[in-house]
Chains A and B, each alone.
Chain A
Amino acid sequence: MASSETQTPTEYIQHHLTNLTGNVGGSQVNVDTVLMGWVLGAIVFGILFLISRGVKQDGVPGKAQAFFELLYEFVDTQVKDMFHGNRRWIVAVAFTVFVWILVMNSIKFIPVDLVAVIAHPFAAYWKPVPTADLNTTLAISLSVILLMMVESVKAKGIGGYINELFNAPFHAHNIFAKIVLLPFNFAFQLIELISKPLSLALRLFGNMYAGEVIFLLISLLAAAGIGGVIGGALLHAGWAVFHILVVPLQAFIFMMLTAVYLAMAHEAH
């Protein structure tokens, strides 16, 4: 109940789910989403950059190095299982996706009203979890699809890629059948190209947004007196424990699908 005494529950929840907006180059921007995403990314990838400068090539690795090696090997193993070839680029994409989404999701562990209390003196609205904003998840998934198309062109050539757009998934052997199947094939490929980023983005966004809403509903219990405060705190803790599973799981699913899409781009249909 950070903002005002006269809020209805609906207003309270809506308030928490409203982004702080600003104006950049004439367009509306969710300042909180971009700032949180960039700052978190800068922190974690900055740490990774510093560690990678001090990596010991042989001998006993330090604790931080061992931790990030573990993370790297985790991603590398997943990619290795599904893609045979030079996988450095795919591992890099999957690794970046995994780490960034993981830290952005982790902001969920900070209680919603604590964020509101801290942010209130500076901003009217502050929605702290960047992945609970469709902009972030769609940005990453569209980047992944773009990279997938680039990989596909790299693997098959521009002609091969365009050929695949019109001649798969339904294959034909004579020219007449090919022309008949052409619009259907193109329609299917278009659906695939649209559904892939949408499913990636909506899955993560939906999970994070819904989790946020539940947190807010639980926090509403605090309005029901001392019993509500205690019960709400317990429920809040329980839901947060459940999110220890949800947060890395969603990051993992996003990472795995990214790797799968990029690996599949190398295969001819």
Chain B
Amino acid sequence: MNLGMTLLLQGIGFAIFLTVVYLYVLPPLANAVEGRRRQIADGLAEAEKGKASLVTAQKEVDKLMAEAKARAADIVAQAEKQRNATIEASKSEAKTAGDREKASAQAEIAQLSVKAKEELRDRVADLAVAGAQRILKREINPQVHSDLLSQLKAEL
């Protein structure tokens, strides 16, 4: 075992290596590691932000969906109401039209029956007059007895 010069030389070697490491090797390595750490931290923060904004967006979507659903339900209900109203309206219209038709038909019938009666009255009167004429022939002058005849006519 000879301690001395060898120890000194190894110490010098250590000093040289330490200097190289401290001045040249570690600074870029440390910078790279530190830079990457920062990058990763930034990326994670970014991801966190993205996640938060996704939640907000989801909320917005939910709100819009709920609104749209409510509006759609509104519209459907309104349409239903309108349809019912239309049906009611057309029903009542149809009924009035039918009533009117019926009324006019009845009126016509009444008119026609009055007319028929009138005609019948005329005919009967004529027939009666003709019959009377045949029976009475000459004894009765229609001009003279017109008063009587019209009286008769009115009584029919």
Please, how many residues of chain A have a CB less than 8 angstroms from a CB on the other chain? Answer: 48
Q: How far is the CB of A220 from chain B (nearest CB, A)?
A: 23
Q: Is A10 an interface residue (CB 8 A)?
A: no
Collect the chain A residues with CB atoms within 8 Å of residue B4's CB.
Answer: 27-28
Chain B interface mostly: helix
Instruction: Across the interface, name the chain A residue whose C-beta is closest to B4.
Output: A27
B30 contacts A72, CB within 8 Å?
Answer: yes
Collect the chain A residues with CB atoms within 8 Å of residue B148's CB.
Answer: none
118-159 of chain A: CB within 8 A of chain B: 130, 133-136, 138-140, 142-143
Known contacts A52-B28, A72-B33: does B1 contact A134 (CB below 8 Å)?
yes
Known contacts A45-B21, A49-B25: does B5 contact A27 (CB below 8 Å)?
yes
Which of these, B10, B15, B22, B32, contacts A135 with CB under 8 Å? B10
Q: Is B45 an interface residue (CB 8 A)?
A: no
Q: Is A179 an interface residue (CB 8 A)?
A: no
Q: 4 tightest CB-CB pairs across the interface, nearest first?
A: A139-B10, A27-B5, A135-B6, A92-B22
Collect the chain A residues with CB atoms within 8 Å of residue B20's CB.
Answer: 45, 48-49
**Inter-chain contact total with CB atoms closer than 8 Å:** 128
Collect the chain B residues with CB atoms within 8 Å of residue A170's CB.
Answer: none
Q: Is A84 an interface residue (CB 8 A)?
A: no
Which of these, A55, A96, A136, A143, contacts B28 with CB under 8 Å? A55
Collect the chain A residues with CB atoms within 8 Å of residue B22's CB.
Answer: 88-89, 92-93, 96
Collect the chain A residues with CB atoms within 8 Å of residue B141's CB.
Answer: none
Collect the chain B residues with CB atoms within 8 Å of residue A100's CB.
Answer: 14, 17
Complex Cα spacing A21 to B9, Å? 13
Instruction: Across the interface, name the chain B residue whose C-beta is closest to A47.
Output: B25
